Amino acid sequence: MSVRVPSMSVLPPVRRDRVIAQLPQCYSKKAAVQTKDEFNFKVKTACQEQRTGTVGFKIAKVIVVGDLAVGKTCLINRWDTAGQERFKCIASTYYRGAQTIIIVFDVNDVASLGHARQWLEDALKENDPTNVQLFLVGTKKDLSSPAQYSQIEQDATKLAEEIKAEYWALSSLTGENVKEFFFRVASLAFEVNVLAEIEKSGSRHIGDVIKINSNSNSLYATSKKKQSNCCQ
């Protein structure tokens, strides 16, 4: 009887409730980064063939911005500069190199939605607008009446369309849409990273081992020649 020993995975174990098998759908197709139902075909193929290389180890930088007390801290643990002038240098470092920007507002506070453009403008000073994914997120949905929420949703959706962001509404208190939102953000960031690796690798597959065959004598000769030139 023969026993087949499975190869060791280079990836750490993942809890089953954190596994994303299908592309999480957008909250509203009126304002979405993309409305497709599945992952990009190239990404699916790379995952099925286990050729995503070290993409899974990459950290996508996600920043969360918005007015004070709109629910950012409840949404995710982050720095909260509250727009204070003395934190400008910290904010600059915090913004720089972001792959995803989440602009948070309180669905019960119209003014916080109005400030979304300024938060986005500040964040984009340190980033290339063509290389970031934007999300406009309304929090504290549980505190809003249906009529009140309906009105601000129209305004938020319109703004999201204008700034080319994906709109979401959720409640940190009840957990409504929180998991779905972060799965969506993680999935889209992962897809972008894999596609970028595929583009860089060209005809090669992600995860391929590149072997370099060289003549040790010629390398020694080259090294020796360089050394003698250096000493002249």
Residue 56 to residue 193: CA distance in whole angstroms: 9
Give the pLDDT score at 208: 44
Residue 47 lies in a domain: no
Nearest Cα residue to 161 out of 26, 61, 19: 26
Residue 165 lies in a domain: yes
Give the pLDDT score at 204: 45
Give the pLDDT score at 224: 42
Give the pLDDT score at 52: 64
Tokens coding 189: 């960031």
Give the pLDDT score at 77: 46
Give the pLDDT score at 14: 67
Residue 193 to residue 44: CA distance in whole angstroms: 13
Answer for the pair 126, 96: CB distance below 8 angstroms, yes or no: yes
CATH number assigned to the domain comprising residue 131:
3.40.50.300
Residue 179 to residue 60: CA distance in whole angstroms: 17
Give the pLDDT score at 198: 81
**What total of structural domains would you count in the chain?**
1
Residue 146 lies in a domain: yes
List of residues 6+ apart from 54 with CB closer than 8 A? 10
Residue 90 lies in a domain: yes
Residue 182 lies in a domain: yes
Residue 226 lies in a domain: no
Strand pairing category for 100-106 and 133-139:
parallel
Residue 51 to residue 118: CA distance in whole angstroms: 41
List of residues 6+ apart from 137 with CB closer than 8 A? 75, 102, 103, 104, 105, 167, 168, 169, 170, 181
Residue 184 has, within 13 A of its CA and on its CB side, a CA count of 24
Residue 222 lies in a domain: no
Residue 151 lies in a domain: yes
Residue 128 to residue 137: CA distance in whole angstroms: 21
Q: Quick: pLDDT tens for 56-87.
A: 556 788 888 888 888 877 776 434 444 444 55
Answer for the pair 144, 152: CB distance below 8 angstroms, yes or no: yes
Q: Tens-digit pLDDT profile for the chain (232 aa)?
A: 333 333 344 555 667 777 788 899 999 998 998 888 998 888 888 877 776 665 555 678 888 888 888 887 777 643 444 444 455 555 678 888 899 999 999 999 999 999 999 999 989 998 998 889 999 999 999 999 999 999 999 999 999 999 999 999 999 889 999 999 999 999 999 898 888 888 876 544 444 443 434 444 443 344 344 444 444 4
